[in-house]
Structure 1
Amino acid sequence: MGKVGTGAKAGAVAGLAYGILDGILAMATLIIFKADVMNELSKEASAESAHGITVTAAALYSLTLNLAVAGGIIGGLIIGIILGIIFAYVHNKIPGKNMIVKGEVFGLILWIIFGVLIGLNDLRIYGTTYYLTSIVFGIIPLLVFGFILGVLYNKWEIKDKPMTDEEFNSGNAGNP
């Protein structure tokens, strides 16, 4: 299958686990910070009503809450495949002695990029408490993603290596 296929396959499984966990934590964050989220959604609802679209903040909140896990799963699967392929190409450059450590480092790098840096937009919109909570909640799924990615990539990469003539011949007793 090669490193791209192995990375995509490991990334898909890791991404699925990530998506489920991230969706659950996103739902928890939405519930914990309901007042802040509703305040922001009220602004969105009034902006839409200016364009003739009738929607309430409560309807937007309900939709967001209902889509949190499903969106996490679908997004996690797609992103997992892409990140698994990237991992297949860069894992030799990531520090660590084994694939699990390399997967965890990869997960931490993703957390810094997506959770901490890109998440700064949440700081501006929802405030410090929401931002810090999302950072804490965000590291958990990415560490799980990195762990699963490292374990599965290592397991499946070994099976994808071509067999040498000696290995083939030793497995076929009776053949010269």
Structure 2
Amino acid sequence: MGKAGTGAKAGIVAGLVYGIFSGIFSYVTLTVFKADVMKVLAKEAAAESAINSSIHITAAELYATAVDLSIAEGIIGGLIVGLILGIIFAYVHGKLPGKNMIVKGEIFGLILWLIFDLLIGAFDISSYGILYYVVTLGLGIISLLVFGYLLGTLYSRWAEKETPMTDEQFNAGKL
């Protein structure tokens, strides 16, 4: 299958689990921070109505849609992101510190958390507030460390099965 295929396969499985976690955490975050989210959605709904007067959507409708789709979006997004990141992991794991793939996967997950949650997520502070940001950081690190652990574990397990048999193994009858 090759390292890209192994990475893709491991990434899809790890991404599915990540997506489930992410979807559930998104649902919980939307529910707990409903007032903050509704403020942002009210501004977005008003902006859409100002641009196109034929669109009449309310913040409540946007919020209900976001809540209803949060878990499905997490799962679908997790599968897509897992596929892409699994392939990337297949090519960069040799450059990551650590002696085994689980540690390399965890470091990969931590790097993803630093980039996506800590840095890019900081842009949401002005919209949703510092408490929302801190909560999403905590939930995000859980999701991405689980993703990294599974990615490293599965990649290692599946890559080992794909190594070709040596002449010595064949002659010794080890199949």
* Aligned residues between the structures: 173
Q: What is the CA-CA distance between 1:166 and the residue it aligns to?
A: 2.5
Q: Give the Cα–Cα distance (whole angstroms) in 2 for the partners of residues 66 and 48 of structure 1.
A: 21
1:164 alignment partner AA: T
In the TM superposition, what are the counterparts of 1:14-53 in structure 2 within 5 Å? Answer: 14-50=14-50, 51-52=52-53, 53=55
Structure 1 partner of 2:89? 87
3-state DSSP class of the match of 2:172? helix
Q: Give the Cα–Cα distance (whole angstroms) in 2 for the partners of residues 66 and 121 of structure 1.
A: 24
Percent of aligned pairs sharing the same letter:
64
Which runs of no fewer than 5 residues in structure 2 stay unpaired? none
CA offsets per residue over residues 35-66 of structure 1, 9 Å max, x none?
Answer: 00001111111111121210011110000011
In the TM superposition, what are the counterparts of 1:14-163 in structure 2 within 5 Å? Answer: 14-50=14-50, 51-52=52-53, 53-163=55-165
1:124 alignment partner AA: S
Which runs of no fewer than 5 residues in structure 1 stay unpaired? none
Q: Give the Cα–Cα distance (whole angstroms) in 1 for the partners of residues 34 and 116 of structure 2.
A: 23
Q: Give the Cα–Cα distance (whole angstroms) in 1 for the partners of residues 56 and 37 of structure 2.
A: 19
Task: Report the RMSD for the aligned CA atoms in angstroms.
Answer: 1.3
TM-score norm. by structure 1 comes to 0.95
1:29 alignment partner AA: T
TM-score norm. by structure 2 comes to 0.95
